[in-house]
Amino acid sequence: MGASSPKGAAGARRLHRLITSVWALALIGGCSAATTQPAGNDGVTASSESLNAVIGIRVNPTEVRPGGTLTVSPQADTTEAWIGGVAAYFDAQVSGEWVTLWGVIADEWGSEVHRFSSSQPTWEVLGVGVAYSMSVVLPVPPRIVPGNYRICRTYSSPEPTRSVYLCTPVRVVQ
C-alpha cells in the first residue's frame, strides 16, 4: 500500500510521532516547574511567557468547566523540529504576577493533575516528547476555582538549542 493512501499516510504519521517521541525522550528527560514560592500557600512563581516566539498555541474551547477537557493546538506552521512535553500548566495572576497553580498531563499519557503549593513546589514529569504539530487533550483540574487563567506549555528546539514557554488564555466557568 502506497504512502498516498489514507492507511499509508496514517502509518507514516504514527511512525513520525514514535520517532519524534523517542528522540524527545532522549533530548528532554524529566522536568519540573519553578520552585520560587509567592506570597500565600497557593502556587509557585510561573515561568515568563516567551512573547517573541516564532510559534504559538491556541486552546479549544476557550471556556471550560472544572473536570472537563480542553485541546491545545499549534497556532503556526513551521518546519522546525519543536518538541513539547506531555505537561501543561494553569497559571493565574496573583497580585500582578503570574503564578502556576496546577500542572496537568495530557490524556493520552495518563491524565494526571498536580496542585502546586508551598508543600508541593515541584512536580516531576515523565520525559515524553510531543511534536509541536500535534494537538494534545488536557484535563481541567476538578477542583480549579472558576476564573481567568492562561494554559502554558514548554517547547524545545534542538538546532539552535532553545526553549519557549507558550501561553494562551482560558476561562474556567461553573
The beta-strand segments (E) located in 75-146 are 83-84, 87-94, 97-105, 113-115, 130-131, 136-139
Residues 110-121 have a mean pLDDT of: 77
Q: What is the pLDDT of residues 150-162, one digit of tens each?
A: 999 999 998 788 8
Whether residue 1 lies inside any domain: the answer is no
Question: What CA–CA distance (Å, rounded) separates 4 from 7?
Answer: 8
Instruction: Specify the number of domains making up the chain.
Output: 1
Beta bridge partner(s), residue 136:
72
pLDDT for residue 134 is more than 80? yes
Question: What CA–CA distance (Å, rounded) separates 119 from 106?
Answer: 24
Q: What is the pLDDT of residues 34-80, one digit of tens each?
A: 333 343 458 888 999 998 888 999 999 999 999 999 999 999 888 78
**Residue 17's CATH number:** 2.60.40
Domain that holds residue 157: 6-172
8-state DSSP, 54:
S
